[in-house]
Amino acid sequence: MNALLLAAGYATRLYPLTQHTPKPLLPVAGKPIAQYLVDQLAAIPSLQRLLVVTNHRFAAQFRAWAAAVPSRFAIEVLDDGTESNETRRGAIGDIAFVLEQSPALRHAPLFVLGGDNLVDFDLGELIADFEARDRAGTPATVICLVRETDRAQLQRSGVVALDASQRVVDFVEKPPEPATNLASPPFYVFPPAALALIPQYLAAGEPPDAPGHFVAWLYRRAPVYGHVFDAPRYDIGTPETYAAVNRLFEQRAHASGRPPA
């Protein structure tokens, strides 16, 4: 299994913080957001490769970070060639780009992560769920779900309904009227069969941007299951939410008796 960190967005809602620094490299309690994800990924034994896809504006910063970050991975940084928010490929477009650049990735499961989210749960559990289904001979996409109480946040998320077996039976991206409280942060484990459908999705003119749009399309064509976490995730979308998450993580660091990283 391999992992792909999506980091090619321009995070315009966070300007001026992200005019010259990509959001995944913004520090939270002294450590880049992406580093928290890399630390979790490094603890998952079945992950073999870690790739980061970014844009041309920030590729050099990511390469410098990847060269310096302590990790068991030799982090591979891919530049998608875009230079502005208006010309971005979008998340699904970037996944397709990476699969074209590195065709070997198509033949193994791929853990796709948004590079700008922080979580209080163990992402290894998502991988374990996927691998258990694979060993049972029923490979399927497995997506992360969290219980969200903030209606405004649900309206900005993919909102999911599950059946008794945890299979996705409804997925609506950014619904004006959320039908459940299950939100889908951008953490997805795709089997090769699902990756093979991405060209069909894009050729049909479906939205290339938010990765949830692909899952909303996919669940009607292939099995998709949800793994529900009870601990929170932190979506850093505005200067205010960034400041709030920074305060929280700094408080935790001080409470544990260690200084921020």
CATH assignment of the domain containing 139 = 3.90.550.10
Among candidates 144, 112, 148, which has minimal Cα distance to 129? 144
* Antiparallel, parallel or unpaired: β 2-7 and 110-114: parallel
Query: Of 15, 61, 56, 2, which Cα lies nearest the Cα of 34?
Result: 61
- 153 assigned to some structural domain: yes
Task: Look up the domain containing 209 and give its range.
Answer: 2-255
Please indicate, yes or no, if residue 13 is contained in any of the structural domains: yes
Question: Looking at the domain assignment, is residue 260 inside a domain?
Answer: no
pLDDT of residue 57: 95
Return the number of other C-beta atoms located less than 10 Å from residue 14's C-beta.
Answer: 19
Does residue 261 form part of some domain? no
pTM given for the model: 0.94
Encoding tokens for residue 233?
A: 């995730």
First to last CA, the chain: 29
pLDDT value at residue 258: 64
Looking at residues 117-144, what average pLDDT do you find? 95
Give the pLDDT of residue 49: 97
pLDDT at 261: 53
Query: How sure is the predictor about 163, in pLDDT bands with cuts at 50, 70 and 90?
Result: very high
Round to whole Å and give the CA distance between 197 and 178: 27
Looking at the DSSP bridge assignments, the partners of residue 147 are 182
How far apart are alpha carbons 13 and 15 in whole angstroms?
6
**Mean pLDDT in residue range 163-192:** 94
Quote the pLDDT of residue 167. Answer: 97
DSSP state of 260: -
CB neighbourhood size of 27 (10 A): 15
Please count the structural domains in the chain: 1
**pLDDT per residue over 10-69, tens digit each?**
988 889 989 999 999 999 999 999 999 999 999 999 999 999 999 999 999 999 999 999
- Only one residue has tokens 């990765």, namely 211
| 220 is a domain residue | yes
Q: Does 77 fall in a domain?
A: yes
